[in-house]
Amino acid sequence: MTKPETPFQWLADKIKGIETPDWLVEILQAVQDIIVEIVLQIGKAYIDKLKDKIVEINKENISSHEKFQTVFDYAKIELKLVLSDSNLNFLIEYLVNKLKKEKII
């Protein structure tokens, strides 16, 4: 004995059965591609700003901890980056190591 279909299930099945026209799929994909490219460019700009700050702070005669804290505060306050502290810590450490490897700092 099968359970009778609820109105919500019937509606959900009808919605799942709707086929999206190919032209709409292509337009939505193009819009999505543009949005992703914009987000990538914004992310690159933020990373470049962080790199610049790391290079700037590296020239100051302060402890490594103070340098790190200055860059961390800059990212959180000035750039208003919305990252968890652990992710931001990782990003800063990664950039510092990369700049050292490239002999920029």
pLDDT at 22: 94
pLDDT at 2: 64
- Is residue 72's pLDDT more than 80? yes
pLDDT at 1: 55
- Is residue 98's pLDDT more than 70? yes
Domain-located, residue 27? no
Number of structural domains, the chain? 1
Mean pLDDT of 90-102: 97
Domain-located, residue 63? yes
Range of the structural domain that residue 82 is part of: 42-105
Virtual torsion, Cα 7, 8, 11, 17, nearest 10 deg = -120
Please write the tens of the pLDDT for every residue from 10-65.
Answer: 898 888 889 989 999 999 999 999 999 999 999 999 999 999 999 999 999 999 99
Secondary structure string (H, E, C) spanning the chain: CCCCCCHHHHHHHHHHCCCCCHHHHHHHHHHHHHHHHHHHHHHHHHHHHHHHHHHHHHCCCCCHHHHHHHHHHHHHHHCCCCCCHHHHHHHHHHHHHHHHHCCCC
Domain-located, residue 58? yes
pLDDT at 52: 98
Domain-located, residue 32? no
